[in-house]
Chains A and B, each alone.
Chain A
Amino acid sequence: MPLIEARNISIRIPTEDGVVHAARNLSFTVEAGSLFGIAGESGSGKSVLIQAIMGLLPQAEIEGECLFQGQDLLAMSQDELRALRGRQIGMVFQDPLSSLHPYYSIGRQITEVIHTHEDVSKAEARRRAAEMLEKVGIVNAAARLDDFPHQFSGGMRQRVMIAMALILEPPLIFADEPTTALDVTVQAQIMELLKRMCDELGVTIVMITHDLGLLSSVADRVMILYAGHRLELGPAGAVFGTPAHPYTQGLLLSSPGISGPDEALMSIPGRPPSLLATPRGCIFAPRCPQAQDICRTPPPVREYADGSAALCHFEPVPHDMEALSHGDRMADATGAAPLVSIRGLTKTYRIASGFARTRELQVIKGIDLDVIRGETLGLVGESGCGKSTLARIVAGLEPATGGEVNFDGTRLSDVSGQDWRELRKRVQIVFQDPYGSLNPRRRVGAIIGAPLKIHGLAQGAALKDEVRRLMGLVGLNPEHYNRFPNEFSGGQRQRIGIARALALKPDLMIFDEPVSALDVSIQAQILNLIRELQDELNLTSLFISHDLTVVRHMCDRIAVMNGGQIIELEEAGKIFAAPREEYTRTLLAASHVPPRPATPEHRELIATLPQQGAV
């Protein structure tokens, strides 16, 4: 008997803008002891689904039923659910930094769970907590029970969260993006741990993630959600190996690791639909490359012999893998004078805290680096390695503590006053967060035109024309000149940020994690755009990312940073083929790339069911 049997779950959340249809008609079953993955982009309804099942969405209207060990979770009262949560169903949240209470020791937080549900002695509870912490890989657990969350690293805290979820040995654990907030190397460890718990303790894990690469490495069965619809469901091997739905194919193909370094990424055009509207036909049709007239009617569920089911009018067609290649744009590194040359750069922050002595934190410990004209240099490293600080120093947003940065022959430390303004024209940054980097109270036209206005380069009609040209260049509709940033999606906002940075025709562009806040399908669009602009405008750029596959796709040379130092600097191809440093190897091993989907052979169709309750 399956552990969870969900039938026709629909979730509607009333908001001020109207009713959001967060999930429509979702059915799935989870077998006991398996790892079930729910994948989808942001806004696909994956988290909402779990919250609704757990009874954490009191304001939503929920239809359908979700049987857990034969009981319908959706029909239970809050009290019954409360007894179930923790006892029968554990939960691991996305952000271990904020889901642990900073005021209580971890031992107390874990034993609290035990005491809530069971009548045991304090000593017994502590013994069990220590045992469980030991199991999830915390060394010397008994001694660390009285430590507070801030004394653990991010990965360790996520282990504590997992221990807390497992402490009562519930048959089921929901993990909501358990590794998203962590660094790649730690991600791999946590995934391994979850998988081991699954095997050793027989726990069933339902994991939500947007990371297909990660999911393909661990999941038994997967469900692909898109705008609240279940587009595909099936065994992981079938879904990732021979995806039956064009959306799944598209998602897999748009992962940067799949295409070769000189190929343009496959991208899914457009963006996810609004959840407020009721679709007339297939929800994916507006973005689907295979869409035809029939797609305007609700698609049936097609079930295949290998156990997968897809919500599509068509059986999978072989996709054509011919990829467009970007021109070979390797700059001639030899002999060219570097645009930026960094020598012995250090940066130290002084942390003054109340009465305590001022602490010094050295973020950058002596870096030598050259950026050669026309090349794209990648900076990779995990969070806290100092890569963003380096970028901010090169951009002149922060002064260096020691060493020097030469920009085209000028030493940054010698520049002052008016010259800074001139220099700022030549170095531009594209920021990580497309939501924070645009002023929410200014119109897009004004945001993109700001640099031109500040430097007095264009006025009136000329300014407007230039802004429109830039908007066209980055793939935005120039008619949206008068809109506010909140009327755009994340990907479009990042385009606005790129247009703003391009306005001054800078010599050096710094991309500070430009795609890490975006969904995979959108990420590919932006990466392609950056690639094209680089080819067209012959930009010199510094590309910062934590994601090796992205950097590999974008860059000519890659510098690997760790602990404030550059530990390896090599041409992109070489670093992947033969990494010299141990750390680089760990990074490479930890980054999961989803398998390149094979051309589907003919599959046996066993049933075509009209979608139930379709509109």
Chain B
Amino acid sequence: MGQFQTRNQKATTEAETAEAGDAPVVVQRSSASLTFRRLARDPASVIAFVFIIALVAFAVGAPLVEAWTGHGPIEQYRETALSPVGLPVGPNAEFLLGGDQLGRDVLVRIAYGARVSLLVGVLASLLAATIGVTVGMLAGYFGGWVDVVLGRLMDLVMSVPFLLCALALVSVFGPSLPLSVSVIVFFSWTTIGRVIRAETTSLARREFVQASRSLGAGHGYILLRDILPNLALTIIIYTTMLIPNAIVFEATLSYLGMGIVPPTPSWGGMLAEAGANSIYLVAWWLVVFPGLALLASTLAFNILGDGLRDALDPSARGRAVLRKKKKTKG
């Protein structure tokens, strides 16, 4: 045999030399640990993440808040939470965030309201993502008339005026939690559907899909085994971004009296009640605290979604770096 290895000696030369004892070892980090490292380097994402954990704990622990303050979410404390003239009292030792116009504890109501917001936010986004991914993948993969029909359907849904439609539905069926979730889902699946459609179109042209086809794989196999796993990042990112939208949607519906039925507390409903009889003019806390809760949670989910995209999607990373550079210069 020549001085160079002329034959591939069965069962591998490549692997053996790569693992030969004296070759220095390089640690290959898993993608999960890389993602965490990138995420941890972005303080905004970390704060947002911690806030969301705290918010979930707050919502889950709402009964504990109730037990600790001794105030039920729909019970009225006319003696202590209302002043002699019938106006709500401001934040004090007993009512940390003050009382509302009916003498209820704002803190406890915000805690129970968080449950509604998170439930609707998460549930509606998951449903919307499921529909959007299914429709988007079918449209992107099959193309042709399937794409035309589903694409126009998405256009159609996007062109329906949201409030008008919600008003009509509520007046027919009456306000309820399932109805508001359905309305939110109906209006939010299109964004993710569009993104998934575009990405599926490009994935379907990749060689590994061609390879699967040449092996004799059916459409179902290709869609579920080859394409879906490659969409995982997009799905995670967009679902996270859908949650704040759904929360705001729910608050809007409740504000208009078409979402959660009073007296069940919800953030939108609380804002509506504060605005209804101009009580906010004398009791700022009725607007500020539910408003802050709404603002902070939507912001937190948005920031986390943004951070996740930077951390998970290598193509977006360049932009993130660029942005940072500009900041340091300016």
Contacts and interface: CB of A to CB of B under 8 A. Distances in A.
12 contacts: A267-B5, A274-B24, A279-B24, A436-B207, A437-B211, A439-B212, A442-B226, A450-B217, A476-B14, A477-B11, A492-B14, A525-B8
B214 A269 contact: no
Given A264-B6, A323-B6, A476-B15, A454 B28 contact: no
A475 B9 CA distance: 8
Interface string A435-472: 01111111000000011001100000000000000001
B2 A266 contact: yes
A450 B225 CA distance: 10
A428 B211 CA distance: 9
A269 B14 contact: yes
Interface of B: 1-8, 10-18, 20, 22-29, 34, 37-38, 206-208, 210-218, 221, 225-226, 229-230, 232
A16 to B, nearest CB: 6
B8 A290 contact: no
Contact of B4 (A250, A286, A397, A427): A250
A421 B38 contact: no
A475 B6 contact: no
Contacts of B13: 269-270, 475, 525
Given A253-B4, A264-B7, A480-B15, 13 more contacts: A249-B4, A267-B5, A271-B17, A277-B25, A281-B22, A289-B3, A320-B3, A424-B215, A472-B11, A475-B10, A476-B14, A500-B211, A525-B14
Given A397-B214, A475-B14, A268 B4 contact: yes
A320 B211 CA distance: 41
Contacts of A478: 11
Contact of B217 (A281, A289, A454, A492): A454
Interface in A172-188: none
B144 to A, nearest CB: 13
A491 interface: yes
A79 B133 CA distance: 49
Contacts of B2: 266, 319-324
B15 A528 contact: no
Contact of B34 (A16, A440, A500): A16
Nearest to A436: B207
A518 B163 CA distance: 58
Given A425-B216, A427-B214, A492-B14, A475 B8 contact: yes
A395 interface: yes
Interface string A237-256: 00000000000011001100
Q: Which residue, of B3, B20, B218, has the highest number of chain A Cβ atoms within 10 A?
A: B3
A408 B169 CA distance: 63
Interface of A: 16-18, 249-250, 253-254, 264-271, 273-274, 276-281, 286-287, 289-290, 296, 319-324, 395-397, 420-421, 424-425, 427-429, 431-433, 436-442, 450-451, 454-455, 472-473, 475-478, 480, 487, 489, 491-492, 495, 497, 500, 504, 525, 528-529, 532
A438 B218 CA distance: 17
Given A286-B20, A472-B11, A497 B6 contact: no
Given A267-B4, A286-B23, A436-B206, A497 B10 contact: no
A199 B25 CA distance: 48
A439 B29 contact: no
A182 B3 CA distance: 34
A504 B215 contact: yes
4 closest A-B pairs (Cβ-Cβ)?
A270-B17, A424-B216, A277-B24, A477-B15
A250 B2 CA distance: 11
Nearest to B29: A17
Contacts of B18: 270-271
A232 to B, nearest CB: 17
A437 B226 CA distance: 11
A518 to B, nearest CB: 12
Nearest to A275: B26
A431 B207 contact: yes
A129 B209 CA distance: 46
A321 B2 CA distance: 6
Contacts of B207: 431-433, 436-437
B22 A296 contact: yes
A500 B207 CA distance: 14
Contacts of B226: 439, 442
Contact of A529 (B1, B8, B22, B24): B8
Contacts of A424: 214-216
Contact of B208 (A439, A476, A532): A439
B11 A280 contact: no
Contacts of A296: 22
Given A425-B216, A429-B214, A451-B215, A442 B225 contact: yes
Given A442-B225, A491-B14, A525-B14, A269 B5 contact: yes
